[in-house]
Structure 1
Amino acid sequence: MRTLYHFALHPASRQARIALAEKKLKVTESPVNPWQLDKGDWKEFEKVTPEGVPPTLIDVIPSGKVVITGARAICEYANDGSTRHPLLAEDIVERAEARRLADWMDQKFTQEVDALILHEKVEKSVAGLGSADTAVLREGRAALAQHLGYFCWLLDQRDWLAGRYFSLADIAVAAHISCLDFLGEINWRDWPTLKDWYQKVKSRPSMRPLLNDRVPGFRAPRHYTDLDF
Protein backbone atom coordinates (compact mmCIF):
# COMPACT_ATOMS: atom_id res chain seq x y z
CA MET A 1 0.00 0.00 0.00
CA ARG A 2 1.25 3.48 -0.83
CA THR A 3 1.51 6.25 1.74
CA LEU A 4 1.89 9.92 0.86
CA TYR A 5 3.13 12.34 3.50
CA HIS A 6 1.91 15.83 2.65
CA PHE A 7 0.85 19.24 3.97
CA ALA A 8 -2.52 20.61 2.82
CA LEU A 9 -1.55 24.19 1.88
CA HIS A 10 1.65 23.17 0.11
CA PRO A 11 1.80 23.34 -3.71
CA ALA A 12 4.37 20.55 -4.03
CA SER A 13 2.25 18.25 -1.88
CA ARG A 14 -0.83 19.10 -3.92
CA GLN A 15 0.97 18.27 -7.16
CA ALA A 16 1.72 14.79 -5.85
CA ARG A 17 -1.85 14.29 -4.64
CA ILE A 18 -3.36 15.32 -7.98
CA ALA A 19 -0.94 13.24 -10.05
CA LEU A 20 -1.51 10.09 -8.00
CA ALA A 21 -5.28 10.58 -8.20
CA GLU A 22 -5.15 11.16 -11.97
CA LYS A 23 -3.30 7.85 -12.34
CA LYS A 24 -6.03 6.12 -10.25
CA LEU A 25 -3.46 4.90 -7.73
CA LYS A 26 -4.66 3.98 -4.25
CA VAL A 27 -2.84 6.05 -1.65
CA THR A 28 -3.17 6.55 2.08
CA GLU A 29 -2.58 10.22 2.85
CA SER A 30 -0.67 11.08 6.02
CA PRO A 31 -0.71 14.83 6.80
CA VAL A 32 2.41 16.32 8.37
CA ASN A 33 3.03 19.89 9.52
CA PRO A 34 6.56 21.19 8.78
CA TRP A 35 6.12 23.85 11.46
CA GLN A 36 5.16 21.50 14.28
CA LEU A 37 8.20 19.28 14.55
CA ASP A 38 7.26 17.85 17.94
CA LYS A 39 4.14 16.09 16.70
CA GLY A 40 4.03 12.31 16.40
CA ASP A 41 3.29 12.25 12.65
CA TRP A 42 6.31 14.43 11.97
CA LYS A 43 8.65 12.25 14.01
CA GLU A 44 7.47 9.23 12.04
CA PHE A 45 7.93 11.17 8.81
CA GLU A 46 11.54 12.04 9.65
CA LYS A 47 12.35 8.36 9.91
CA VAL A 48 11.48 7.70 6.28
CA THR A 49 12.86 10.73 4.40
CA PRO A 50 16.31 12.34 4.55
CA GLU A 51 15.02 15.62 3.09
CA GLY A 52 12.57 16.19 5.91
CA VAL A 53 10.17 18.09 3.62
CA PRO A 54 6.88 16.85 2.15
CA PRO A 55 5.74 15.43 -0.16
CA THR A 56 7.18 11.96 0.28
CA LEU A 57 5.68 8.81 -1.23
CA ILE A 58 6.30 5.38 0.27
CA ASP A 59 5.55 2.59 -2.19
CA VAL A 60 5.91 -1.16 -1.76
CA ILE A 61 6.94 -3.03 -4.90
CA PRO A 62 8.08 -6.64 -5.41
CA SER A 63 11.71 -5.70 -4.77
CA GLY A 64 10.90 -3.91 -1.51
CA LYS A 65 9.98 -0.49 -0.13
CA VAL A 66 10.64 2.57 -2.27
CA VAL A 67 10.88 6.15 -0.97
CA ILE A 68 10.19 8.90 -3.52
CA THR A 69 10.65 12.49 -2.34
CA GLY A 70 9.61 15.74 -4.01
CA ALA A 71 6.73 16.68 -6.28
CA ARG A 72 8.60 16.33 -9.54
CA ALA A 73 9.97 12.88 -8.73
CA ILE A 74 6.60 11.64 -7.44
CA CYS A 75 4.68 12.94 -10.46
CA GLU A 76 7.12 11.37 -12.92
CA TYR A 77 7.18 8.12 -10.91
CA ALA A 78 3.40 7.94 -10.97
CA ASN A 79 3.28 8.62 -14.69
CA ASP A 80 6.01 6.12 -15.56
CA GLY A 81 4.46 3.35 -13.47
CA SER A 82 1.59 2.72 -15.88
CA THR A 83 0.63 3.58 -19.44
CA ARG A 84 -2.97 4.13 -18.35
CA HIS A 85 -4.16 7.70 -17.82
CA PRO A 86 -0.94 9.33 -19.13
CA LEU A 87 0.10 12.68 -17.71
CA LEU A 88 2.32 13.55 -20.66
CA ALA A 89 1.43 13.66 -24.34
CA GLU A 90 3.01 11.30 -26.88
CA ASP A 91 4.32 14.27 -28.86
CA ILE A 92 7.86 15.01 -27.68
CA VAL A 93 7.47 18.78 -28.11
CA GLU A 94 4.35 18.86 -25.97
CA ARG A 95 6.05 16.62 -23.38
CA ALA A 96 8.97 19.04 -23.22
CA GLU A 97 6.61 22.00 -22.87
CA ALA A 98 4.75 20.31 -20.02
CA ARG A 99 8.02 19.70 -18.19
CA ARG A 100 9.15 23.27 -18.86
CA LEU A 101 6.02 24.70 -17.28
CA ALA A 102 6.19 22.32 -14.34
CA ASP A 103 9.76 23.49 -13.74
CA TRP A 104 8.56 27.11 -14.13
CA MET A 105 6.17 26.54 -11.25
CA ASP A 106 8.73 24.67 -9.12
CA GLN A 107 11.35 27.38 -9.55
CA LYS A 108 10.22 30.78 -10.87
CA PHE A 109 6.67 30.85 -9.52
CA THR A 110 7.74 29.46 -6.16
CA GLN A 111 10.49 32.07 -5.74
CA GLU A 112 8.52 35.07 -7.00
CA VAL A 113 5.05 34.32 -5.60
CA ASP A 114 4.87 31.49 -3.08
CA ALA A 115 7.97 32.53 -1.16
CA LEU A 116 6.24 35.84 -0.51
CA ILE A 117 2.49 35.24 -0.28
CA LEU A 118 2.42 31.73 1.17
CA HIS A 119 5.25 32.54 3.54
CA GLU A 120 3.53 35.65 4.87
CA LYS A 121 0.00 34.23 5.07
CA VAL A 122 0.59 30.55 5.85
CA GLU A 123 4.07 29.83 7.19
CA LYS A 124 4.20 32.81 9.53
CA SER A 125 0.72 32.07 10.84
CA VAL A 126 1.32 28.35 11.43
CA ALA A 127 4.75 28.93 12.96
CA GLY A 128 3.55 31.80 15.15
CA LEU A 129 5.94 34.32 13.60
CA GLY A 130 3.60 37.29 13.71
CA SER A 131 1.37 39.04 11.22
CA ALA A 132 1.93 39.26 7.48
CA ASP A 133 4.11 42.04 6.07
CA THR A 134 1.90 44.07 3.72
CA ALA A 135 4.85 45.31 1.66
CA VAL A 136 5.97 41.74 0.99
CA LEU A 137 2.41 40.76 0.08
CA ARG A 138 2.19 43.63 -2.43
CA GLU A 139 5.38 42.44 -4.09
CA GLY A 140 4.11 38.86 -4.26
CA ARG A 141 0.75 39.95 -5.66
CA ALA A 142 2.40 42.04 -8.37
CA ALA A 143 4.45 39.01 -9.42
CA LEU A 144 1.35 36.82 -9.28
CA ALA A 145 -0.45 39.10 -11.71
CA GLN A 146 2.41 38.76 -14.20
CA HIS A 147 2.32 34.99 -14.00
CA LEU A 148 -1.47 34.82 -14.34
CA GLY A 149 -1.25 37.02 -17.41
CA TYR A 150 1.28 34.63 -18.92
CA PHE A 151 -0.96 31.62 -18.25
CA CYS A 152 -3.86 33.41 -19.94
CA TRP A 153 -1.66 34.13 -22.95
CA LEU A 154 -0.79 30.42 -23.21
CA LEU A 155 -4.42 29.36 -22.88
CA ASP A 156 -5.52 31.76 -25.60
CA GLN A 157 -3.51 29.56 -27.98
CA ARG A 158 -4.03 26.10 -26.49
CA ASP A 159 -6.67 23.75 -25.10
CA TRP A 160 -4.52 23.08 -22.01
CA LEU A 161 -1.42 24.80 -20.70
CA ALA A 162 1.14 22.67 -22.56
CA GLY A 163 -0.92 21.96 -25.64
CA ARG A 164 -3.76 19.67 -26.64
CA TYR A 165 -3.88 17.49 -23.53
CA PHE A 166 -4.18 17.77 -19.77
CA SER A 167 -0.68 17.18 -18.42
CA LEU A 168 1.82 17.62 -15.62
CA ALA A 169 1.85 21.31 -16.52
CA ASP A 170 -1.83 21.69 -15.63
CA ILE A 171 -1.26 19.72 -12.43
CA ALA A 172 1.63 21.95 -11.38
CA VAL A 173 -0.20 25.20 -12.08
CA ALA A 174 -3.44 23.95 -10.48
CA ALA A 175 -1.58 22.94 -7.31
CA HIS A 176 -0.13 26.42 -6.85
CA ILE A 177 -3.25 28.27 -7.96
CA SER A 178 -5.49 26.23 -5.65
CA CYS A 179 -3.40 27.20 -2.61
CA LEU A 180 -3.64 30.87 -3.52
CA ASP A 181 -7.35 30.52 -4.24
CA PHE A 182 -7.81 28.94 -0.80
CA LEU A 183 -6.32 32.14 0.62
CA GLY A 184 -8.57 34.37 -1.50
CA GLU A 185 -5.63 35.77 -3.45
CA ILE A 186 -7.12 35.57 -6.95
CA ASN A 187 -9.85 37.88 -8.25
CA TRP A 188 -11.24 35.62 -10.95
CA ARG A 189 -13.15 38.43 -12.65
CA ASP A 190 -9.79 39.78 -13.80
CA TRP A 191 -8.71 36.49 -15.40
CA PRO A 192 -11.65 35.02 -17.38
CA THR A 193 -9.46 32.83 -19.60
CA LEU A 194 -7.69 31.31 -16.63
CA LYS A 195 -11.01 30.95 -14.83
CA ASP A 196 -12.42 28.84 -17.68
CA TRP A 197 -9.37 26.58 -17.48
CA TYR A 198 -9.54 26.32 -13.69
CA GLN A 199 -13.23 25.43 -13.81
CA LYS A 200 -12.34 22.46 -16.02
CA VAL A 201 -9.54 21.44 -13.67
CA LYS A 202 -11.70 21.80 -10.55
CA SER A 203 -14.29 19.49 -12.11
CA ARG A 204 -11.82 16.62 -12.36
CA PRO A 205 -12.21 13.92 -9.67
CA SER A 206 -8.54 14.31 -8.73
CA MET A 207 -9.28 17.80 -7.37
CA ARG A 208 -12.11 16.84 -5.02
CA PRO A 209 -9.91 15.93 -2.03
CA LEU A 210 -8.15 19.31 -2.32
CA LEU A 211 -11.46 21.16 -2.38
CA ASN A 212 -12.40 19.37 0.83
CA ASP A 213 -9.22 20.38 2.66
CA ARG A 214 -9.71 22.12 5.97
CA VAL A 215 -6.76 23.83 7.65
CA PRO A 216 -7.00 25.00 11.29
CA GLY A 217 -6.78 28.78 11.51
CA PHE A 218 -7.78 29.37 7.88
CA ARG A 219 -11.13 29.75 6.17
CA ALA A 220 -11.34 29.42 2.41
CA PRO A 221 -13.62 31.84 0.50
CA ARG A 222 -17.08 30.56 -0.37
CA HIS A 223 -16.25 30.09 -4.05
CA TYR A 224 -13.31 27.79 -3.31
CA THR A 225 -15.41 24.61 -3.39
CA ASP A 226 -17.84 25.85 -6.06
CA LEU A 227 -17.28 24.24 -9.46
CA ASP A 228 -19.28 27.01 -11.17
CA PHE A 229 -17.72 29.92 -9.33
Structure 2
Amino acid sequence: MQNSRPAAHRLYHFPLSPFSRKVRLSLAEKRIEVELVEERYWEQDPEFMRRNPAGKVPVLKLGNRMMSESTAICEYLEEVQPDPPLLPQSVEARYEVRRLVGWFDDKFNREVTSKLLGERVFKKVMGGGYPDSTNVKAGARAIKYHLDYMAWLLDQRRWLAGNELSLADFAAAAHLSCLDYISDVDWNRSETVKDWYAKIKSRPAFRSLLADQLPGFPQPSHYADLDF
Protein backbone atom coordinates (compact mmCIF):
# COMPACT_ATOMS: atom_id res chain seq x y z
CA MET A 1 0.00 0.00 0.00
CA GLN A 2 1.29 3.42 -0.90
CA ASN A 3 1.53 5.80 2.05
CA SER A 4 2.58 8.81 0.01
CA ARG A 5 -0.89 9.75 -1.27
CA PRO A 6 -2.74 11.14 1.72
CA ALA A 7 -5.24 12.99 -0.50
CA ALA A 8 -6.56 9.62 -1.69
CA HIS A 9 -7.00 8.36 1.88
CA ARG A 10 -9.68 9.94 4.03
CA LEU A 11 -11.26 9.00 7.36
CA TYR A 12 -14.71 10.34 8.14
CA HIS A 13 -14.80 10.36 11.92
CA PHE A 14 -15.95 12.10 15.07
CA PRO A 15 -13.24 13.04 17.60
CA LEU A 16 -14.88 11.37 20.62
CA SER A 17 -16.10 8.28 18.80
CA PRO A 18 -14.20 5.31 20.27
CA PHE A 19 -14.79 3.35 17.07
CA SER A 20 -13.22 6.14 15.03
CA ARG A 21 -10.33 6.28 17.48
CA LYS A 22 -9.66 2.55 17.19
CA VAL A 23 -9.28 2.94 13.42
CA ARG A 24 -7.16 6.08 13.82
CA LEU A 25 -4.80 4.21 16.13
CA SER A 26 -4.51 1.30 13.71
CA LEU A 27 -3.84 3.60 10.76
CA ALA A 28 -1.23 5.60 12.67
CA GLU A 29 0.49 2.48 14.04
CA LYS A 30 0.79 1.20 10.48
CA ARG A 31 1.92 4.63 9.26
CA ILE A 32 -0.92 5.00 6.77
CA GLU A 33 -1.56 8.71 6.35
CA VAL A 34 -5.16 9.83 6.02
CA GLU A 35 -6.98 13.12 5.92
CA LEU A 36 -9.32 13.39 8.91
CA VAL A 37 -12.79 14.71 8.07
CA GLU A 38 -15.01 15.40 11.07
CA GLU A 39 -18.51 14.09 10.47
CA ARG A 40 -21.64 14.98 12.47
CA TYR A 41 -23.03 11.60 11.54
CA TRP A 42 -26.24 11.93 13.62
CA GLU A 43 -27.43 14.66 11.24
CA GLN A 44 -27.57 11.98 8.52
CA ASP A 45 -26.36 14.23 5.75
CA PRO A 46 -27.38 12.62 2.43
CA GLU A 47 -23.80 12.63 1.13
CA PHE A 48 -22.56 10.87 4.24
CA MET A 49 -25.43 8.38 4.09
CA ARG A 50 -24.31 7.48 0.58
CA ARG A 51 -20.88 6.66 2.00
CA ASN A 52 -22.38 4.50 4.75
CA PRO A 53 -26.13 3.81 4.72
CA ALA A 54 -25.80 2.65 8.35
CA GLY A 55 -25.17 6.30 9.24
CA LYS A 56 -22.22 5.53 11.51
CA VAL A 57 -18.59 6.58 11.80
CA PRO A 58 -15.90 5.73 11.01
CA VAL A 59 -15.92 5.48 7.25
CA LEU A 60 -12.53 4.99 5.61
CA LYS A 61 -11.87 5.96 2.00
CA LEU A 62 -8.75 4.28 0.63
CA GLY A 63 -8.34 5.30 -2.97
CA ASN A 64 -11.63 4.35 -4.61
CA ARG A 65 -12.67 1.95 -1.85
CA MET A 66 -15.16 3.10 0.82
CA MET A 67 -15.25 1.02 4.00
CA SER A 68 -17.32 1.04 7.18
CA GLU A 69 -17.50 -0.92 10.49
CA SER A 70 -14.45 -0.27 12.63
CA THR A 71 -13.35 -3.84 13.34
CA ALA A 72 -13.77 -4.88 9.70
CA ILE A 73 -11.67 -1.85 8.70
CA CYS A 74 -8.93 -2.74 11.20
CA GLU A 75 -8.81 -6.34 10.03
CA TYR A 76 -8.66 -5.19 6.40
CA LEU A 77 -5.70 -2.97 7.27
CA GLU A 78 -4.06 -5.97 8.93
CA GLU A 79 -4.47 -8.00 5.76
CA VAL A 80 -3.11 -5.38 3.36
CA GLN A 81 -0.40 -3.98 5.64
CA PRO A 82 0.54 -6.64 8.20
CA ASP A 83 3.59 -4.78 9.53
CA PRO A 84 3.59 -3.85 12.34
CA PRO A 85 1.14 -6.60 13.31
CA LEU A 86 -1.88 -5.90 15.48
CA LEU A 87 -3.15 -9.47 15.28
CA PRO A 88 -0.89 -12.32 16.48
CA GLN A 89 0.10 -15.33 14.40
CA SER A 90 -1.59 -18.21 16.19
CA VAL A 91 -5.29 -18.98 15.81
CA GLU A 92 -5.74 -19.13 19.60
CA ALA A 93 -4.04 -15.77 20.16
CA ARG A 94 -6.08 -14.14 17.38
CA TYR A 95 -9.23 -15.43 19.01
CA GLU A 96 -8.28 -13.78 22.31
CA VAL A 97 -7.66 -10.45 20.58
CA ARG A 98 -11.00 -10.64 18.79
CA ARG A 99 -12.78 -11.66 22.00
CA LEU A 100 -11.47 -8.60 23.81
CA VAL A 101 -12.19 -6.25 20.91
CA GLY A 102 -15.76 -7.52 21.12
CA TRP A 103 -15.74 -7.07 24.91
CA PHE A 104 -14.87 -3.39 24.69
CA ASP A 105 -16.86 -2.52 21.59
CA ASP A 106 -19.96 -4.31 22.87
CA LYS A 107 -20.08 -4.85 26.65
CA PHE A 108 -17.88 -1.93 27.72
CA ASN A 109 -19.53 0.40 25.22
CA ARG A 110 -23.02 -0.62 26.32
CA GLU A 111 -22.35 -0.53 30.07
CA VAL A 112 -19.90 2.38 30.31
CA THR A 113 -19.18 4.50 27.22
CA SER A 114 -22.78 4.96 26.12
CA LYS A 115 -23.84 5.86 29.65
CA LEU A 116 -21.02 8.28 30.52
CA LEU A 117 -19.91 9.75 27.20
CA GLY A 118 -23.39 9.38 25.77
CA GLU A 119 -25.04 11.30 28.58
CA ARG A 120 -22.33 13.88 29.31
CA VAL A 121 -21.26 14.70 25.74
CA PHE A 122 -23.44 13.31 22.98
CA LYS A 123 -26.75 14.43 24.46
CA LYS A 124 -25.47 18.01 24.49
CA VAL A 125 -23.80 17.82 21.07
CA MET A 126 -26.88 16.23 19.48
CA GLY A 127 -29.34 18.51 21.26
CA GLY A 128 -30.82 15.66 23.26
CA GLY A 129 -31.37 17.47 26.54
CA TYR A 130 -29.81 17.02 29.95
CA PRO A 131 -27.86 13.99 31.19
CA ASP A 132 -29.86 11.19 32.80
CA SER A 133 -28.32 10.83 36.26
CA THR A 134 -29.44 7.20 36.52
CA ASN A 135 -27.43 6.29 33.43
CA VAL A 136 -24.42 8.29 34.61
CA LYS A 137 -24.43 6.53 37.97
CA ALA A 138 -24.76 3.13 36.28
CA GLY A 139 -21.81 3.90 34.01
CA ALA A 140 -19.71 5.09 36.94
CA ARG A 141 -20.41 1.82 38.78
CA ALA A 142 -19.76 -0.36 35.74
CA ILE A 143 -16.39 1.16 34.85
CA LYS A 144 -14.98 -0.05 38.18
CA TYR A 145 -15.76 -3.64 37.23
CA HIS A 146 -14.14 -3.22 33.82
CA LEU A 147 -10.99 -1.59 35.23
CA ASP A 148 -10.68 -4.46 37.70
CA TYR A 149 -11.05 -6.97 34.86
CA MET A 150 -8.33 -5.18 32.90
CA ALA A 151 -6.07 -5.23 35.96
CA TRP A 152 -6.67 -8.99 36.29
CA LEU A 153 -5.71 -9.53 32.65
CA LEU A 154 -2.63 -7.33 32.91
CA ASP A 155 -1.43 -9.12 36.03
CA GLN A 156 -0.96 -12.20 33.80
CA ARG A 157 0.20 -10.55 30.55
CA ARG A 158 2.27 -7.64 29.29
CA TRP A 159 -0.67 -6.41 27.18
CA LEU A 160 -4.39 -7.10 27.37
CA ALA A 161 -4.53 -10.08 25.02
CA GLY A 162 -1.00 -11.42 25.45
CA ASN A 163 2.63 -10.42 25.46
CA GLU A 164 2.43 -8.21 22.37
CA LEU A 165 0.50 -5.01 21.68
CA SER A 166 -2.62 -5.82 19.69
CA LEU A 167 -5.89 -4.48 18.38
CA ALA A 168 -7.41 -5.40 21.77
CA ASP A 169 -5.27 -2.73 23.43
CA PHE A 170 -6.31 -0.15 20.85
CA ALA A 171 -10.00 -1.01 21.28
CA ALA A 172 -9.73 -0.56 25.05
CA ALA A 173 -7.62 2.59 24.79
CA ALA A 174 -10.05 4.11 22.28
CA HIS A 175 -12.91 3.87 24.78
CA LEU A 176 -10.87 4.88 27.81
CA SER A 177 -9.29 7.86 26.04
CA CYS A 178 -12.76 9.22 25.21
CA LEU A 179 -13.78 8.83 28.84
CA ASP A 180 -10.50 10.34 30.02
CA TYR A 181 -11.29 13.42 27.92
CA ILE A 182 -14.26 14.02 30.24
CA SER A 183 -12.33 12.92 33.38
CA ASP A 184 -14.44 9.81 33.90
CA VAL A 185 -11.62 7.33 34.54
CA ASP A 186 -10.28 6.78 38.06
CA TRP A 187 -6.66 6.03 37.20
CA ASN A 188 -5.88 5.55 40.90
CA ARG A 189 -8.01 2.42 41.02
CA SER A 190 -5.24 0.30 39.48
CA GLU A 191 -1.56 1.14 39.01
CA THR A 192 -1.36 -1.75 36.55
CA VAL A 193 -4.02 -0.29 34.29
CA LYS A 194 -2.59 3.22 34.69
CA ASP A 195 0.87 1.97 33.63
CA TRP A 196 -0.66 0.15 30.64
CA TYR A 197 -2.46 3.31 29.54
CA ALA A 198 0.68 5.40 30.00
CA LYS A 199 2.54 3.03 27.64
CA ILE A 200 -0.19 3.32 25.00
CA LYS A 201 -0.56 7.06 25.49
CA SER A 202 3.16 7.60 24.82
CA ARG A 203 3.12 5.82 21.44
CA PRO A 204 3.46 8.05 18.36
CA ALA A 205 0.15 6.60 17.08
CA PHE A 206 -1.64 8.30 19.98
CA ARG A 207 -0.46 11.86 19.26
CA SER A 208 -3.39 12.97 17.12
CA LEU A 209 -5.86 11.73 19.75
CA LEU A 210 -4.15 13.83 22.41
CA ALA A 211 -4.52 16.91 20.18
CA ASP A 212 -8.29 16.49 19.78
CA GLN A 213 -10.44 19.41 20.84
CA LEU A 214 -14.23 19.33 21.05
CA PRO A 215 -15.87 22.79 21.22
CA GLY A 216 -17.66 23.26 24.52
CA PHE A 217 -15.68 20.46 26.14
CA PRO A 218 -12.16 21.63 27.04
CA GLN A 219 -9.50 19.01 27.66
CA PRO A 220 -8.73 18.31 31.33
CA SER A 221 -5.17 19.27 32.29
CA HIS A 222 -4.00 15.65 32.58
CA TYR A 223 -5.47 14.43 29.27
CA ALA A 224 -2.45 15.06 27.04
CA ASP A 225 0.12 14.71 29.85
CA LEU A 226 2.16 11.57 29.16
CA ASP A 227 3.00 11.32 32.86
CA PHE A 228 -0.60 12.00 33.96
TM over 0.5: yes
Q: Does the CA-based 8 Å contact 2:14-2:20 persist in structure 1?
A: yes
Query: In the comparison of the two structures, how many residue pairs are matched?
Result: 221
Aligned to 1:178: 177
Q: Does the CA-based 8 Å contact 2:42-2:55 persist in structure 1?
A: no
TM-score, normalization by structure 1: 0.93
Q: Does the CA-based 8 Å contact 2:160-2:168 persist in structure 1?
A: yes
Aligned to 1:69: 68
Supply the AA of the counterpart residue of 2:151.
C
Distance in 2 (CA, whole Å) between partners of 1:54 and 1:169 is 19
Distance in 1 (CA, whole Å) between partners of 2:43 and 2:66 is 22
- 2:23 paired residue among 16, 19, 23: 16
Aligned to 2:217: 218
Distance in 2 (CA, whole Å) between partners of 1:220 and 1:191 is 23
Aligned to 2:10: 3
Aligned to 1:120: 119
Supply the AA of the counterpart residue of 1:32.
E
Tell me the CA shift for residue 186 of structure 1: 0.9
Q: Does the CA-based 8 Å contact 1:116-1:137 persist in structure 2?
A: yes
Tell me the CA shift for residue 34 of structure 1: 2.5
Task: Note the alpha carbon deviations across 1:170-216, whole angstroms, 9 max, x for none.
Answer: 01000000000001001211221100000000011110000000001
Range moving further from structure 2, 82-91 or 193-202:
82-91
Supply the AA of the counterpart residue of 1:218.
F
Tell me the CA shift for residue 43 of structure 1: 4.3
Which runs of at least 4 in structure 1 moved beyond 4 Å after TM superposition?
none
Distance in 2 (CA, whole Å) between partners of 1:15 and 1:8 is 11
Tell me the CA shift for residue 47 of structure 1: 2.6
Note the 1:141-160 alignment, pairs <5 A: 141-160=140-159
Note the 1:173-212 alignment, pairs <5 A: 173-212=172-211
Q: Secondary structure at the match of 2:55?
A: coil
Supply the AA of the counterpart residue of 2:17.
H
Q: Secondary structure at the match of 2:223?
A: helix
TM-align CA RMSD = 1.2
Q: Does the CA-based 8 Å contact 1:35-1:126 persist in structure 2?
A: no
The alignment-based identity, stated in percent, is: 45
Aligned to 2:82: 83
Distance in 2 (CA, whole Å) between partners of 1:24 and 1:46 is 28
- 1:51 paired residue among 38, 54, 57: 54
Task: Note the alpha carbon deviations across 1:74-117, whole angstroms, 9 max, x for none.
Answer: 11111111232111111322211111000111111111112211
TM-score, normalization by structure 2: 0.93
Tell me the CA shift for residue 36 of structure 1: 4.1
Tell me the CA shift for residue 134 of structure 1: 1.7
Q: Secondary structure at the match of 1:216?
A: coil
Q: Does the CA-based 8 Å contact 1:155-1:161 persist in structure 2?
A: yes
Segments of structure 2 that go 5 or more residues without pairing to the other structure are 1-7
Aligned to 2:36: 29
Aligned to 1:169: 168
Task: Note the alpha carbon deviations across 1:122-171, whole angstroms, 9 max, x for none.
Answer: 11110122221222111111111101110010001100000010000001
Segments of structure 1 that go 5 or more residues without pairing to the other structure are none
